[in-house]
Structure 1
Amino acid sequence: MKKTALSSLAVLACLLGALGTAQAQQAREYSFPSHDGSKSPPSTLRITEQGSAAPAPVVRDTPESVAQYQRCRNKVDREAVSNTELQAGVAGCLKELEARRGQ
């Protein structure tokens, strides 16, 4: 138990140290041998840093579109008699909202 706790702390220290230098290197690989008596094979952790992508554009719905969505949700809330119907109705309202966003 004590050996496992120490090896866990060592792994955590390695990972935290690697996080600080991850920006300087593209890929790092860490091998974690299994502890004594374990029947599982050694594990390998591969960390690859990819360039940051541009942030997604902010979605802004028109007040009319939001009102249509709220009317749809209210209608579904009134008409649904089961959780399954409610989920399907809400999914339909969201699909309509996404379709309006695509126009």
Structure 2
Amino acid sequence: MPKSTAIGEYIAELFPNEFNEQLDIVQKHRHLNYTFTLNADHILDSAWVGNDTRYLNHAQGEGENTTAEIQWVSGEHRILFFTTRYIKKGEELLFNYGENYWLG
């Protein structure tokens, strides 16, 4: 798969940021976190509704081979994944979750 290839969109339920505390409680209980900050007002959570992009794992530095980009599409913010380098068939897709992910 060549560099800059679109992998897919992060599909999830949309929540106002005020729900972040409630989602944190559920995540800590389940030991799973599928939240993604979309913009200043909303977060996405694919714990119950989502697609395969929720299973992309964390890496940083040379291990990263994809990136998440927030883009404006048809009047809405969307999170899209793109390759950052050539990816061989069967290679795991990895992106950097960011510093804030590890604070929770």
TM range (shorter): under 0.3
In the superposition, the TM-score normalised over structure 2's length comes to: 0.22
Q: Which has the higher contact order (CA 8 A, sep 6+)?
A: 2
**Structure with greater Cα Rg:** 1
More strand as a share of residues: 2
Of Structure 1 and Structure 2, which has the larger fraction of its residues in helix? 1
